[in-house]
A and B are shown apart, each in its own frame.
Chain A
Amino acid sequence: MSDEQFYHALKVDEDTCFGCTHCMHDCPTGAIRLRNGKATIRKDWCVDCGECMKSCPVDAIYVEQDDFIEIFSYKYRVAIVPAVFFGQFPENISEERILSVMNELGFTHVFQAEHTVDIINEVILEFQDTKPEKPLISSFCPAIVRLIQVKFPALVDHIVPVKPPIDASAAFYKYLLIEKGATAEEIGIFYVTPCAAKIAAVKSPVGDDQNYVDGVINMDFLYNKVYQVLKSQTNTSSTIKQAAFPQLTSKGLKWSLTDGEADHMKGRCLAIDEIHNVIDFLERLENEEISDVDFLELRACDQSCAGGVLLSGNRFLGVERLRNRARALENKTFQTEELESFRNFIKKNIHLESLSPRSMMKLDEDMSAALKKMQRIRHIMCFLPGIDCGACGAPNCQSLAEDIVRKEAHLSNCVFIQRMMEKTRKLSPDHAIRLIENTWGKDRLDKDCKKKGAKNEGM
């Protein structure tokens, strides 16, 4: 297993997790195992896509965030907010009102993440002209970047070496305030994130050295805070303390939605959203079943960032609102002078260092050893029943077999093998129960009428 540690924002709340198998079965990289009645996430296999969180019936998987109070350790408190944040609010609540509430909550500056998309677009177009290996794959969605690193190592070189808007915007705003006389220590840049992947990318950036983000705030947390204030307001007029809040262009509004990037690149561009769709497509791309595509926009969430795990409300309505707003702004350009004067600075700072593959698939570094392990896996599969029930704590029989050769599980973890062993008197019933308890927690099989769906649920 790799020594490299990657920060993951997805955490399991052990008090809430009651050990069902939903997340384990839904994880697209098979990174979840059940141990002692709780879900555990394998760090080097997790790509932070958030599918586990979406599938959890009791909200036991959460996204770790920085304490909101932390913003007050800075004199200048900047929120970098993606457009989808505003897309969650009903049409009758204006951006100005939301902004004024954010000022009230303590942010001295609010800047939308997508203000730098024009520059990013320009740099990617220039890069396309250098005739790189086709297709170029966008680096926008960090869950996809990690997915490619662990599952499609041969495609790592296709990722565009240009940072996503959030990084560019954070860097820009920090330097803007410094230009205006603030010191670097006085400035706190807080990113309002729609997902776990973006946090993970901010905390342990892939192939990156400098990091301009000082903290992360979950979008659902901020949404609730803002909404609460809005609800209690009787006066709907807004008082914005911040001087100018530049308007996003139509392109900026749509950038994080599906087709947001693909619509603006050169040649044949495709946009694919939802991680299983992406995996299926990348499989085919690797086989060269698909060729002649110039640019690929790949996003882990259905409806892209409008479907991020930390968004509140319906993703389709969010998309509709942003598209409506974008339509009204079609063909309008809002050049903020400040952005223009920082153009070269931003261009210089959005180069993404080269990424390295970190395949999670290999059974062993050494090929002969890996071959032996594979032989054992195939042998073990002769005995496992192929039911893929998950009762062993692994998502399917194949995973259990692989875990066994990795020395992370035993053949007797399979409940059907246990039955066979009992039949041949190789296993006592007491021992069998202990094995079950190792996977599913102590007293798991005792009668419990308070569990979900049972007659005294919630009492």
Chain B
Amino acid sequence: MEFKYDVEGGNFAKAGHAASAVKKVLKQLNVNPKVIKRVVVALYEGEVNVVAHAFKGRIIADIDPSRIYIKIEDQGPGIPDIDLAMQVGYSTASSKVREMGFGAGMGLPNMKKNADKLQISSNVGKGTVVELTTYFNS
């Protein structure tokens, strides 16, 4: 089953809206609360990254009885060096983003920690695609 959510760049007030919606779905599906938590934390970070670093994005969540697959696709500056971006503490967040309490460079590492599979591909100047997979019986 597929769910789609739009994400608006720069709108921090709405960041977390897709994560909350997916959380509700997983609760209704009786997924283990600990697994839900991991999914939601990873998705939230991905959602915030679109809000903080890109212009706009779309989240697609696909759920089957064994796993949830999430694709976060955005139109934005892209990530020139993904390995560097993955490092703890690395951040290019603007001062405005930092004022909002983000920009610790923890988002991507946190996503890696919480997802069973994380794949990032990026096209500099065009956008980024982040794919997360989490298995329900892990």
Contact = CB atoms under 8 A, between A and B. Distances in A.
Contacts of A367: 29-31, 65, 136
Interface stretch (A160-168, A255-263, A286-294): A286-294
B23 A370 contact: no
A4 interface: no
Interface string A309-351: 0000000000000000000000000000000000000000000
Interface stretch (A42-50, A91-99, A234-242, A358-366): A358-366
Interface in A146-177: 153-154
Contact of A374 (B1, B20, B36): B1
Given A287-B20, A289-B16, A357-B33, A370 B28 contact: yes
B63 interface: yes
A283 B17 CA distance: 10
A456 interface: no
B33 A153 contact: yes
Contact of B16 (A287, A363, A374): A287
A361 B23 CA distance: 11
Interface stretch (B37-45, B70-78, B86-94, B127-135): B37-45
B24 interface: yes
B37 to A, nearest CB: 5
A109 B37 CA distance: 49
A368 interface: yes
Contacts, number: 61
B28 A288 contact: no
A287 B19 contact: yes
B37 A154 contact: yes
Contacts of A153: 27, 33
Interface residues of B, number: 23
B19 A359 contact: no
B64 interface: yes
B24 A371 contact: no
B1 A287 contact: no
Nearest to B64: A371
Contact of A370 (B20, B24, B29, B44): B29
A284 interface: yes
Interface string B61-85: 0011100000000000000000000
B16 A286 contact: no
B124 interface: no
A375 interface: yes
Nearest to B48: A289
Interface string B96-118: 00000000000000000000000
- Secondary structure at the B interface, as helix, strand, loop or mixed, is helix
A434 to B, nearest CB: 32
Contact of A362 (B1, B19, B27, B63): B27
Residue of B1, B28, B37, B64 with highest tally of chain A CB at under 10 A: B28
Nearest to B42: A288
Given A154-B37, A286-B40, A288-B44, A371 B29 contact: yes
B65 A359 contact: no
A381 to B, nearest CB: 13
A447 to B, nearest CB: 43
B28 A363 contact: yes
Given A287-B20, A288-B41, A359 B63 contact: no
A371 B1 contact: yes
Interface in B5-29: 16, 19-20, 23-25, 27-29
Contacts of A362: 27-30
Nearest to B19: A287
A284 B41 CA distance: 10
Given A283-B20, A368-B65, A363 B29 contact: yes
A375 B1 contact: yes
B29 A374 contact: yes
Contacts of B27: 153, 359, 361-362
B29 A154 contact: no
Contact of B44 (A287, A361, A364, A368): A287
Contacts of A289: 16, 44
Contacts of B23: 283, 286-287
A370 B29 CA distance: 5
A21 to B, nearest CB: 23
Contacts of B33: 153-154, 357
B1 to A, nearest CB: 6
Nearest to A288: B41
Contacts of B41: 287-288
B29 A365 contact: no
Interface in A204-259: none
Given A286-B37, A359-B27, 10 more contacts: A154-B34, A286-B23, A287-B16, A288-B37, A288-B41, A289-B16, A361-B28, A362-B27, A363-B29, A370-B30
24 contacts: A153-B33, A154-B36, A283-B20, A286-B23, A287-B19, A287-B41, A287-B44, A288-B37, A288-B41, A359-B27, A359-B30, A362-B28, A363-B29, A363-B30, A364-B30, A367-B29, A367-B31, A368-B65, A370-B30, A371-B29, A371-B64, A374-B1, A375-B1, A378-B1
Interface of A: 153-154, 283-284, 286-289, 357, 359, 361-368, 370-371, 374-375, 378
Interface of B: 1, 16, 19-20, 23-25, 27-31, 33-34, 36-37, 40-41, 44, 63-65, 136
